[in-house]
Each structure stands twice: as C-alpha cells, then as structure tokens.
Amino acid sequence: MSSYRFCRTDDIALLVDALNRCWAPYVPDEPPMTAALFKRSIRDLQIWCSSCMVAFAGPDPIGVLIGAKRPSGTLIHRIAVHPDHVRQGHGRHLLTSLSSKLAILGPPRIAAEVPQTLSAACALFRACGYVEEVLLTDYVLTGDHRDTTDVAGRFVIPVTVDDLVANGLLGEDNRQVCWERSIETLTSRKDELKGLALASDERIEAHILYIERGEERAEIVSLQTDLNDPRGSLEPLFAHLGARAVNMGFPKVHPSEIPAQQLATLGFRPTQTYGLYAATARPE
C-alpha cells in the first residue's frame, strides 16, 4: 500500500535516504547525497522541507520530490521514482499534491529545469499540464585562450559578488537566468565565488564570476559584457582565467542571457539542453 507525505525540517535524513534510493539510479555519475550537502542546498537554493514530499511502499521510500521556494515561485529541483515503481502514478501524485498546496499557500508559479535526455520526466511534466517555456543550454569553452594584453586603458581586476551588487551589476536588470545562478544563489554562495572584471576609469565593462572545479576547470556562474563588443571585453578576462582553468563550463544559459551566436564567437560550444517547464498551481 502506497502512502505520501510532505516533510518537515527534521526530515533531512529521510530526504537524503529517498534521494539516494530514488534519484541516484538515474544519475550514477553524481556523488551520493549527504546531510551536509542537503543542508547546503537549503542555504544556496532555498530548498524548503515543507515543499518536499516522499512516497512510500510500506516503510521504504519509493519516490521523492524536492522543492525550492522563493517569492518568485517554486522550483521542482528533483523528482524521481524508484525504477521498480515507475508507471504507477507516483510522480503525477507528487506533482499534483504540491500544486494543490501551493494553490492555497502560494507562490502560484511552479517551474522545473529538466534535462532533455530524461524523456520520461519531460513527458511527466507535459502530462501534468506544464508548458515548456524555453530551452536552457550548457556551454563549454576548452583549449588555449588568446593572450590579450592590449586593453587600451582598461584593467583586469579581481571582483566580488558584493562589488558587483554595489555597482548595480547583479540582479538589477531582471535578466532571466536559471535558478542555480540567480542573484539569491550567488549571494548565498559568495564566499566560494571568485571573480574578474574589465574596468575602465568610468565603469566595469564586463565581469565573470566563477567557481574552481578541481585542477584546470572552472564553472562560470555569472557572465556580463558589453553586447556591442563581447569579444573585446571578455577575451582579456578569459586570458586571465585561462591561466588557471583550461576548461570552462557555463551551465543552463537562458537564450535572453547572452545570444548563442555571441557565445559561439567567443568559442563556446553547446552540450546538454534543459526544458524550462512551468505551470500555475491549482487545486486537484
């Protein structure tokens, strides 16, 4: 007999177990979830235990939904059903239960960023009334980066999240970005982020915020530039960053964030794509 329940703040151990039982089989290359990692996601992504659900068969978790909540909406960060229990309606029940709760408590917008390789998950969201609004794309930049030394009166300087916020360069223009690179996440993770900016006497013309991911690899979490001259303003930054990171990843880029053509001009190539699915909460 199946049962379902929303979680509480003292259910972290249960949610960790449910993720390792139900989500891990679909992503074998990811490290196991731990209580420490889950608590970090609460801080960084605003995961709310009260927006998380677990499905049970007897005492065993067979399905899990992880929800993150902000005033703008709720993100379904993870949803998975154990491979032995798929196609029995558990995923739909998890989604509709959360929708019913949010129809009362809000916020009404619910979204999910779903890898297109997970075709069953995409089909589940469509079947539950979600609409694919746009595709998000992972990009990578590899190899040697041209050493640009002549920047004509401009300087490459270190920069922090606080510096960019103080100059109105983060979160002020309402640009659409994925949940994991929003201003809320960047602010929560600011102590682990590093940054470079191209500055003139008058303003910051471009910046990169990034996380070092092991030897010679970096993940870009924020990239802004003068769209009239993206190559001229970003290549000096890539040259400096390239001294430490040969491979650069730029995950889940929204098409309005920076045009794909300009990323291609800079040497980025697309890899994985995600459907941004969205719906409005409604009662069952």
The total domain count for the chain is 2
Buried b (16+ CB within 10 A) or exposed e, 19-53: bebbbeebeeeeeebeeeebeebeebbbbbbebbb
User: What residues contact 160, with CB distance under 8 A and at least 6 apart?
Assistant: 190, 193, 195
pLDDT of residue 265: 84
Q: Are residues 88 and 145 in the same domain?
A: no
Q: Are residues 99 and 175 in the same domain?
A: no
pLDDT of residue 21: 98
Smallest Cα–Cα separation from 30: which of 80, 93, 90? 80
Q: Are residues 176 and 256 in the same domain?
A: yes
- For the chain, 284 residues long, the average pLDDT of each consecutive 10-residue run is 95 98 95 97 97 97 98 97 97 98 96 95 97 97 60 83 90 78 95 92 88 87 77 80 79 92 89 98 90
Residue 266 lies in a domain: yes
Residue 82 lies in a domain: yes
Residue 128 lies in a domain: no
Round to whole Å and give the CA distance between 173 and 216: 32
Q: Are residues 97 and 158 in the same domain?
A: no
Q: Are residues 250 and 149 in the same domain?
A: yes
Residue 121 lies in a domain: no
Residue 250 lies in a domain: yes
Round to whole Å and give the CA distance between 198 and 223: 12
Q: Are residues 145 and 269 in the same domain?
A: yes
Residue 130 lies in a domain: no
Residue 81 lies in a domain: yes
User: What residues contact 52, with CB distance under 8 A and at least 6 apart?
Assistant: 6, 7, 11, 15, 64, 65, 66, 67
Buried b (16+ CB within 10 A) or exposed e, 153-187: ebebeebebebbbeeebbbeeeeebbbbbbbbbbe
Smallest Cα–Cα separation from 119: which of 105, 132, 110? 132
Q: Are residues 76 and 179 in the same domain?
A: no
pLDDT of residue 203: 83
| CATH assignment at residue 164 | 3.40.630.30
Q: Are residues 155 and 43 in the same domain?
A: no
Q: Are residues 164 and 239 in the same domain?
A: yes
Q: Are residues 148 and 270 in the same domain?
A: yes
Categorise residue 54: left if φ over 0, alpha if ψ from -120 to 50, beta otherwise.
Answer: beta
Last residue of a domain, one of 66, 85, 107: 107
Q: Are residues 178 and 225 in the same domain?
A: yes
Torsion angle of alpha carbons 74, 75, 81, 82, nearest 10°?
-130
CB atoms within 10 A of CB 188: 17
Structural domain containing residue 189? 139-274
Last residue of a domain, one of 61, 92, 107: 107
Residue 282 lies in a domain: no
